[in-house]
Structure 1
């Protein structure tokens, strides 16, 4: 095996490790969040947003969850940049995806403001706006905008490769989240501060699950496109 082949094998393996981070990120975030949602005293998904769990005595759990997830998404973005290279603006997809991971990290560093009822015993008077809460909300809202932009660029690259089914799936899954979650995190919107209709409140979590499902599926898709041995990665594969 020549030195060039050895380098190709090492590069392919490194890329697969980076892409595997995208496979792990979604399940990790969702599992830790759901476990906390079911066990933390005072949390009610019909009233509270999941990011409120970054505050309180056990807030470090969800903040750590955000930090780890954000780092995994940044690493995943590096892997995406090694595979998705077709299209005029192909490089911007991974860059924006990395910025989205950075936004998740910021949201993990700064806790959100408490909401009435959470942490347990918090009253409406106690749930005041703080500077770190504003930073947290800004990172969350900005992250959704960045992810939406990333998905559109990635969809463009996938379409350029002839993978139109993946392009449409990307457009259908992610921008929906951006729109819905921006409304949910708008302080002027009722959904941001709770609603009397629990079905409406719970409906805001559906796009979040859809987007994490897209992240995992997209990561697996790219992972399979990398060569398992010394063969070169297919930067412009045939349409699926």
Structure 2
């Protein structure tokens, strides 16, 4: 019975390890190839609009579901200690936020998709709901960082606790800087746009690799993902 349980848990944790790289790779490929999309002016959710919007919708739906599956695996592993319940729950809600965003279509924005007005048009309910889901995902990421950091701190894994706590603190600072730059110059550099894209998924990927290695160690197996020296360890 234990052997049958091991494989599903590892598979669920592996979902979290692949979700981020898949999302970032597909989103960047779209951003660099779709006509009219400008990294310095358009949010990545704008890619859900237009004839090719189904690609980004599918991307968001896929990674959202992978993250929900990862949350199930995390719940199996983090059975005790503070944050063992709400950490996976918040992670699952983070995935649900991406599923909701992928089920909706963004409003045309500043000339994208091609043929749209050069200025923002009136917001539709789908556009408003999608924006709300993106804001919710950011809030959930910060909350997850606090809860997961507290879990690791109370279970004696202080190195990991510091990593997730500092990462969570850096998220609102990064987004505040993005807003400030955008307000000052009317747009933002490509590098900031990329940071905005990858910030949540670095966190999710590192946590997934960490938990995968921890689960493998507990079961006495050989982990398929080997943590680097800079990665948090248990």
Q: Bin the TM-score by the shorter chain.
A: 0.7 to 0.9
Equivalent residues of 2:40, 2:188 under 8 A apart: yes
The answer to whether the aligner puts 1:217 opposite 2:206 as a matched pair is: yes
Question: Is 1:117 paired with 2:96?
Answer: no
Distance 1:219 1:92 in 2: 16
The whole-number CA distance in structure 1 between the counterparts of 2:192 and 2:119 is 27
Say which one has the larger Rg: 1
| Greater shift in the superposed pair: 63-72 or 150-159 | 150-159
- What's 1:11 paired with? 5
Instruction: Show the counterpart of 1:105.
Output: 99
Structure 1 residues 138 and 197, CA, compared in 2 at 3 Å: closer, same or farther?
closer
- Using the size of structure 1 for normalisation, the TM-score is 0.83
Deviations 1:109-156 (A, max 9, x none): 011111112112322456321110000001110111112112211111
CA distance in structure 2 between the partners assigned to 1:155 and 1:98 by the alignment: 17
The CA distance in 1 between the partners of 2:167 and 2:188, in whole Å, is 23
- Note the aligned Cα RMSD (angstroms): 2.6
How far apart, CA to CA, are the structure 1 residues paired with 2:192 and 2:216?
Answer: 40
Partner of residue 206, structure 1: 195
Change in 2 beyond 3 A, CA 1:22/1:77: same
- 1:53 counterpart = 2:47: yes
Matched residue, 2:216: 227
Structure 1 unmatched ranges of 5 or more: 1-6, 233-238
- Give 1:17 deviation, angstroms: 0.3
115, 125, 150: which is aligned to 1:131?
A: 125
Assess, with a 3 A threshold, how the Cα gap between structure 1 residues 217 and 76 changes in structure 2: closer, same or farther: same
> Paired residues, what number?
223
Runs of 4+ displaced beyond 6 Å: none
Aligned counterparts, 1:152-191, within 5 A:
152-178=146-172, 180-181=174-175, 191=182
- Separation in structure 2 between the aligned mates of residue 183 and residue 85 of structure 1, nearest angstrom: 37
- TM-score (structure 2 length as normaliser): 0.85
The correspondence of residues 56-71 of structure 1 with structure 2, limited to 5 A, is 56-71=50-65
Helix, strand or coil: the match of 1:87?
A: coil
Query: Which of 64, 71, 74 is matched with 1:77 structurally?
Result: 71
Higher relative contact order (CA 8 A, sep 6+): 1
Structure 1 pair 8–176 and aligned structure 2 pair: CA distance change class (3 A): same
Q: CA deviation at 1:205?
A: 3.5
Q: 1:62-115 deviations in whole A, cap 9, x for unaligned?
A: 011000000000000011111123423321000011011001100000111111
Point out where structure 2 has 5 or more consecutive residues left out of the alignment.
Answer: 222-232
